[in-house]
């Protein structure tokens, strides 16, 4: 799992990772520390405040949600990864068939592009600050921002795309070097914001009146516009913390990482990413907005301006570097996903395509503002596929069924997987888009439904006697 291996698309793509490639827990702790301190953390924290999440709910809810996420990595992903030592894609191909994996790759790649687009928007918001270009959010999701902001997005997207196309080894190294600094800057952002709000005692800090006042300000603004102030409940926060990286743990994308784990204890490594990036950094970024509201009665979640207000040039650098170092691998992975669909295509060309799509997505400023909702939808779509892997690994033989049926029979499209995946996802998306259900509530039910459906459909569709396939 060294940089060269990653940049070459990963070795052992169609075979188990050999013993000689296995890594100790330290490598995983280091990787997860950097991976989850992204530019988007500067966006998500303020969006929590804007959505009306109370500070107490945020502190406790994110604690619970992140613990659940770490447990999922440790007890769901790591055992299967260490047992099979295969990438997600190859393992899925053996169950679902090559054709279905291509379809999954397209979906995966497009969602990666939108995520990278939000990272580009966040970086552009910081680049714009020295030029006096504001990140303003149009009312319509699919409206462009100011021309000057769009130009900055295109420039940032171009640079990130070209670097990603060249391979991200250098960026990965830069990200590793920057990780401790970024974590310290996130902490500094929270501390400086507390000072800006004139919170000078522990009791004031714990009391959280400064946060409540900021929420009241946002609510009053919305009421003045004739809108109902939004709320973000404790359980929404718990679920958001849990499923924020749902595609990685519930969806088993990180099988590709943990297949290199020598010890199961490596499965605890995501804890560092969760509690630094998805706990401390989110709360610190939320405090940035609370301070901005107190100081200038401005509730706009502009990551660049927020960081500038509390940290000056260091904040600008942090937003740009955090956005850049995470958008790069995301575009790179999207390129690999697209390349998987068109095996004859070059990785560079597909990365350029992915970067172009991501940059176009980044040009719509409101998309980044929808990040809280997007993360839930992302997990709703990709997470359930992990249930197929779980059922295939643990339950198929117990129910007298043949695991890895596509590998055994040579089928390209396993209908049981297709229906088991898409049916719960379709219901989830209907509830989200038509009924207004929060996306985070749909992820776990969709995952469970997918697993049960896969088992039932396999029982109904699998031929009675299948020849034993070659074991991995």
Q: How far is the CB of 318 from another protein (least distance, A)?
A: 8
Select the residue interacting with another protein from 155, 162, 177, 342 (CB under 8 A). Answer: 177
Tell me: does residue 319 bind another protein (CB under 8 A). no
Residue 344, phi then psi, degrees to nearest 5: -80, -10
Please state, in angstroms and rounded to a whole number, the distance separating the CA atoms of residues 444 and 246. 9
- CA 333 centroid distance within chain: 12
Site for another protein in 196-215 (CB under 8 A): 196, 199-200
CB distance 408 to 458 below 8 Å: no
- Count interface residues toward another protein (CB under 8 A): 20
Tell me: does residue 275 bind another protein (CB under 8 A). no
3-class state of residue 261 by DSSP: strand
Q: How far is the CB of 174 from another protein (least distance, A)?
A: 9
Select the residue interacting with another protein from 233, 314, 356, 409 (CB under 8 A). Answer: 314
User: Assign residue 88 a region: left if phi > 0, alpha if psi is -120 to 50, beta otherwise?
Assistant: alpha
Q: How far is the CB of 39 from another protein (least distance, A)?
A: 16
Tell me: does residue 235 bind another protein (CB under 8 A). no
Tell me: does residue 26 bind another protein (CB under 8 A). no
Helix or strand holding residue 455 (H, E) = helix 440-461
Q: How far is the CB of 188 from another protein (least distance, A)?
A: 5
Only segment of 131-139, 195-203, 410-418, 455-463 that touches another protein (CB under 8 A): 195-203
Please state, in angstroms and rounded to a whole number, the distance separating the CA atoms of residues 259 and 379. 22
Q: How far is the CB of 173 from another protein (least distance, A)?
A: 9
CB distance 163 to 7 below 8 Å: no
Please state, in angstroms and rounded to a whole number, the distance separating the CA atoms of residues 22 and 302. 42
Helix or strand holding residue 459 (H, E) = helix 440-461
3-class state of residue 11 by DSSP: coil
Q: How far is the CB of 33 from another protein (least distance, A)?
A: 13
Select the residue interacting with another protein from 76, 311, 420, 455 (CB under 8 A). Answer: 311
Tell me: does residue 30 bind another protein (CB under 8 A). no
3-class state of residue 231 by DSSP: coil
Q: How far is the CB of 205 from another protein (least distance, A)?
A: 10
Q: How far is the CB of 186 from another protein (least distance, A)?
A: 10
Tell me: does residue 185 bind another protein (CB under 8 A). yes
Select the residue interacting with another protein from 106, 155, 162, 191 (CB under 8 A). Answer: 191
Select the residue interacting with another protein from 60, 187, 429, 472 (CB under 8 A). Answer: 187
**What b-and-e string marks burial along 128-148, b requiring 16 or more CB atoms within 10 Å of the CB?**
bbeeebbbebeeeeeeebeee
User: CB-based contacts of 148: which residues, under 8 Å, 6+ apart?
Assistant: 128, 131, 133
Q: How far is the CB of 50 from another protein (least distance, A)?
A: 24
CB distance 42 to 278 below 8 Å: no
Tell me: does residue 295 bind another protein (CB under 8 A). no
Please state, in angstroms and rounded to a whole number, the distance separating the CA atoms of residues 472 and 467. 15
Select the residue interacting with another protein from 64, 107, 317, 452 (CB under 8 A). Answer: 317
Tell me: does residue 29 bind another protein (CB under 8 A). no
* Tokens (6 digits) for 192: 């400086």
Q: Which is nearer to another protein, 118 or 192 (CB)?
A: 192
Tell me: does residue 144 bind another protein (CB under 8 A). no
Binding mask 415-434 for another protein (x = CB under 8 A): --------------------
Which residue, 329, 325, 271, 269, is CA-closest to 28? 269
* Tokens (6 digits) for 419: 């229906």
- Please report the sign of the dihedral spanned by the C-alpha atoms of residue 66, residue 330, residue 445, residue 81: negative
Angle 110-126-52 from CA coordinates, rounded to 5°: 75
Only segment of 90-98, 180-188, 221-229, 379-387 that touches another protein (CB under 8 A): 180-188
Only segment of 139-147, 173-181, 411-419, 447-455 that touches another protein (CB under 8 A): 173-181
Select the residue interacting with another protein from 166, 188, 222, 423 (CB under 8 A). Answer: 188
Tell me: does residue 163 bind another protein (CB under 8 A). no
By CB under 8 A, name the binding residues for another protein: 177-178, 180-181, 184-185, 187-188, 191-192, 194-196, 199-200, 311-314, 317
């Amino acid at each position: 799992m060294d940089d060269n291996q990653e940049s070459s698309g990963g070795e052992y793509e169609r075979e188990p990772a050999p013993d000689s490639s296995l890594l100790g827990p330290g490598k995983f702790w280091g990787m997860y520390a950097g991976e989850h301190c992204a530019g988007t953390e500067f966006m998500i924290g303020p969006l929590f405040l804007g959505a009306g999440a109370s500070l107490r709910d945020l502190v406790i809810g994110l604690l619970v949600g992140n613990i659940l996420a770490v447990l999922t990595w440790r007890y769901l992903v790591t055992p299967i990864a260490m047992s099979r030592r295969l990438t997600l894609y190859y393992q899925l191909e053996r169950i679902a068939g090559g054709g279905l994996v291509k379809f999954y790759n397209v979906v995966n790649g497009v969602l990666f592009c939108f995520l990278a687009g939000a990272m580009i928007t966040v970086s552009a918001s910081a680049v714009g600050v020295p030029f006096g270009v504001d990140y303003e959010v149009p009312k319509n999701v699919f409206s462009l921002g100011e021309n000057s902001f769009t130009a900055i997005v295109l420039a940032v997207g171009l640079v990130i795309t070209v670097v990603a196309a060249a391979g991200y080894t250098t960026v990965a190294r830069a990200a590793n070097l920057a990780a401790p600094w970024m974590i310290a800057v996130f902490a500094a952002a929270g501390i400086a914001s507390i000072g800006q709000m004139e919170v000078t005692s522990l009791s004031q800090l714990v009391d959280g009146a400064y946060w409540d006042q900021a929420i009241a300000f946002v609510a009053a603004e919305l009421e003045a516009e004739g809108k109902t102030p939004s709320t973000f409940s404790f359980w929404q926060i718990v679920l958001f913390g849990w499923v924020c990286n749902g595609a990685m743990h519930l969806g088993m994308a990180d099988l590709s990482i943990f297949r290199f784990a020598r010890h199961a204890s490596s499965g605890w490594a995501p804890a560092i990413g969760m509690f630094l990036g998805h706990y401390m950094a989110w709360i610190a970024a939320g405090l940035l907005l609370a301070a901005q509201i107190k100081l200038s009665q401005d509730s706009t979640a502009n990551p660049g301006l927020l960081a500038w207000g509390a940290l000056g040039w260091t904040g600008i650098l942090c937003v740009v570097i955090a956005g850049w170092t995470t958008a790069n691998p995301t575009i790179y992975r999207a390129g690999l996903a697209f390349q998987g669909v068109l095996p004859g295509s070059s990785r560079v060309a597909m990365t350029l395509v992915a970067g172009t799509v991501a940059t176009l997505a980044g040009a719509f400023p409101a998309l980044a503002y929808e990040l809280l909702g997007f993360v839930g939808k992302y997990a709703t779509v990709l997470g359930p596929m992990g249930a197929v892997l779980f059922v295939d690994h643990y339950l198929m033989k117990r129910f007298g069924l043949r695991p890895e049926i596509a590998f055994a029979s040579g089928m390209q499209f396993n209908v049981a997987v297709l229906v088991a995946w898409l049916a719960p996802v379709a219901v989830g998306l209907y509830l989200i888009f038509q009924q207004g259900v929060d996306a985070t509530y749909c992820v776990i039910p969709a995952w469970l439904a997918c697993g049960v459906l896969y088992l039932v459909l396999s029982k109904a569709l699998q031929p009675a006697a299948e020849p034993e396939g070659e074991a991995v």
